[in-house]
Amino acid sequence: MPYAPEYLHLVIPDVRFEAYLYGRNSDNVFAGQTGARDSVDDQLATGRDLCHRHGWPIIHEFKDSDVSASRHAKKARGDFEDLLATIISSPAPEGVRRIVVAYEASRYYRDLEAYVRLRNACMTTGTLLCYNDQVYDLSRRDDRKATAMHAVDAEDEADAMQARNARTTTLEAEAGKPHGRLPFGYAREYAVVGGRSRCIRQYEHPVQGPVVLKAFQHIDSGHSVRSLLRWLNSHPDAARPDGSKWSSRTVRIMLKNRAYLGERLHNGVYRKGTWEPIKGLETPQGRAMFNRVTAKLTDPARRPQRGTEVSHLLTYIGLCGECGDHALLSAQPRQNTGPGLACDAARDVSMAEDAVNAYVEEHVIAWFSNKAAARAALVPKGEDIAENLAAAQRLINGYEEQLREARQLAEKFDEQTGRPMLSAGSLARLEQSLGPKLEAERAKMRGLTGVSPLVLGLLDSPDPDAVWNGRPATDTEPEVPALTLEQKREVIRNVVTVRLYKATKRGSTKPDFTRIRLAFVGEPGFREQPLRARGTARAQPLVVLAGPASGTV
């Protein structure tokens, strides 16, 4: 049974208690609601009062605002991840017990996997868990059972809310009501209906609306996206509400958005919305202009394009140490030398690309070669990761093999009848049946540790260098192909943050590797949520080498 906070010093005597506070609310928090829907500040204020009354010093506060804790969440909970990392990496000194304090169980988790991760962190470090004015010691069997039941209830409640929201979304879509992110050029009016905030009207913004029309006219008159981009970023009326700059990507998204025609998208189908089109686009001539602009933007013959395959290891992954983490590095041509890796924002930092690539690759391989440190940073304790991953991988391999054989049969024809060995309908039914199962197993693998199989493959290999760079076949060993460029980018993005700084000495022709600073997982400076980078690959199974390592880096 849990302990009442006022008696905790009696059942666990001769220790000093310290507290971590955690608060969270999701983006459906509205005025007038109470209980689990209190604001994060209210939750933390309640926790502070509890800790003050019982003499628990607060050593850190964590809060996630406008973030769901369910398995349906679209955004990661940064402070929850920081809480787990802090619990594990900062054990309490002798004579001290730590307590994690939250308003109620659903603030921590609405997902059983998140509960298991928090439970394991607390069990490993002897940290207590407090919510609903009760303290749980997860080293005790009955407390584990009680908190697990609360986690099941919280997840079930989240699933019920998700089902209700899905029904509401479908009904609103059929009625043509606005949904999702507000498009630039429009404004919305909200009202609290039934305890929830609802958009009751979407209308053209008096300042932004004309900017949208001018953007269409600019492209339709033969000007480029680049010149439009310069105008949007220099005109005060075109400033984005979040303060960020316009980019080629955001401009193209805007110019292809049929919301400006008064249409609403749901499940791939457009229908008439309840709002009016942008003035100037509501006429037949306006719609024709919209279609011409869309055709220009989607016609590959009119867009210089290098293709979707990446050709640089660190482009849009590395960061400029001088400008800050908002500034990415990209490959830039240089006179009389090979390409350089330079700051994409201010061009104030540059270094030979091949030198930076070699330095980063060498240190990534060395980091994976230190198995104890890499595993401690990547894999949580207290879980049988290898067995669970192997079981999931076996199912994935079986499903993929079955689908591969079916697709091959669908492409073969009987010589006598001329009919396919497997009909298109049968193949479609098989794909519909196995597709969700395959994705479920992939999701299970991702959820076991939060680490991709691509990274785990390098971690488990006795020779990361051979996995990274490949190894030719020998008399006793088969060939090991090197990682593709996309796979290497994926690994780098997940385990290390690369920053490039200015040179300290001018005129030197030798690479100064002190300008490159690396922050690996668990180290200060590592970005746990790196900027989205183009050209990263989904996690893929790796060949794990058997036997002793062939050497050191």
Burial of 124 (0-12, 13-18, 19+ CB in 10 A): middle
Q: How many CB atoms lie within 10 A of CB 398?
A: 14
Distance CA 499, CA 237 (A): 35
pLDDT given at position 390: 66
pLDDT given at position 541: 42
Which positions ≥6 away from 208 have C-beta within 8 Å?
184, 185, 186, 187, 237, 238
One DSSP character per residue, 21-51 reads EEEE--TT--TT--GGGS-HHHHHHHHHHHH
Distance CA 199, CA 179 (A): 8
Residue positions counted in the chain: 553
Q: Give yes or no for a contact between 25 and 73, defined as CB atoms under 8 angstroms apart.
A: no
Beta-strand (E) ranges in 133-185? Answer: 134-136
Q: Give yes or no for a contact between 99 and 133, defined as CB atoms under 8 angstroms apart.
A: no
Architecture of domain 186-302: Alpha-Beta Complex (3.90)
Any idea which residue has 């402070």 for tokens? 79
Helix axis angle for 248-255 and 284-298, nearest 10°, is 140
Token pair of 115 as six digits: 């509960």
Q: Domain 5-163: which topology? A: Rossmann fold (3.40.50)
pLDDT given at position 301: 40
Specify the amino acid at residue 225.
V
HSE (side-chain half, CA atoms, 13 Å) at 519: 15
Which residue stretches of 473-527 are H helix? 485-495
Which positions ≥6 away from 14 have C-beta within 8 Å?
95
Token pair of 85 as six digits: 């990392």
The helix or strand, by DSSP H or E, that contains position 518, with its residue range, turns out to be strand 516-520
Q: Give yes or no for a contact between 495 and 455, defined as CB atoms under 8 angstroms apart.
A: yes
pLDDT given at position 345: 86
Q: Give yes or no for a contact between 136 and 147, defined as CB atoms under 8 angstroms apart.
A: yes
Q: How many CB atoms lie within 10 A of CB 434?
A: 16
Token pair of 368 as six digits: 């994976």
The helix or strand, by DSSP H or E, that contains position 59, with its residue range, turns out to be strand 58-64
Distance CA 18, CA 12 (A): 13
Q: Give yes or no for a contact between 529 and 493, defined as CB atoms under 8 angstroms apart.
A: no
pLDDT less than 50: residues of the chain? 28-37, 301-308, 382, 446, 449, 530, 532-553
Token pair of 109 as six digits: 């988790």
* Strand-pair category, 96-101 with 340-343: unpaired
**135-169 pLDDT, tens digit each:** 999 999 999 999 999 989 888 887 787 777 777 66
Token pair of 19 as six digits: 């507290």
Q: Which residues pair with 100 in a beta bridge?
A: 20, 129
* Strand-pair category, 16-24 with 263-266: unpaired
- Backbone dihedral angles phi then psi of residue 83, each to the nearest 5 degrees: -60, -50
- The conformation of residue 384, written as its DSSP 8-state character, comes to -
Q: Which residue in 162, 168, 104 sits closest to 136, CA to CA?
A: 104
**355-404 pLDDT, tens digit each:** 999 999 999 999 999 988 888 888 765 456 556 656 766 787 788 788 87
Token pair of 266 as six digits: 């749901």
Please give the angle made by the CA atoms of 514, 516 and 522, to the nearest 5 degrees. Answer: 115
Report how far apart, in Å, the C-alpha atoms of 137 and of each of 1, 59, 110, 469 are: 9, 20, 20, 48
Specify the amino acid at residue 160.
A
Would the pTM count as exceeding 0.95? no
Q: Which residue in 132, 113, 116 sits closest to 124, CA to CA?
A: 116
What percentage of the chain has pLDDT greater than the value 70?
82
pLDDT given at position 452: 57
Distance CA 258, CA 262 (A): 7
Token pair of 139 as six digits: 């080293």
- Backbone dihedral angles phi then psi of residue 475, each to the nearest 5 degrees: -65, -25
pLDDT given at position 344: 87
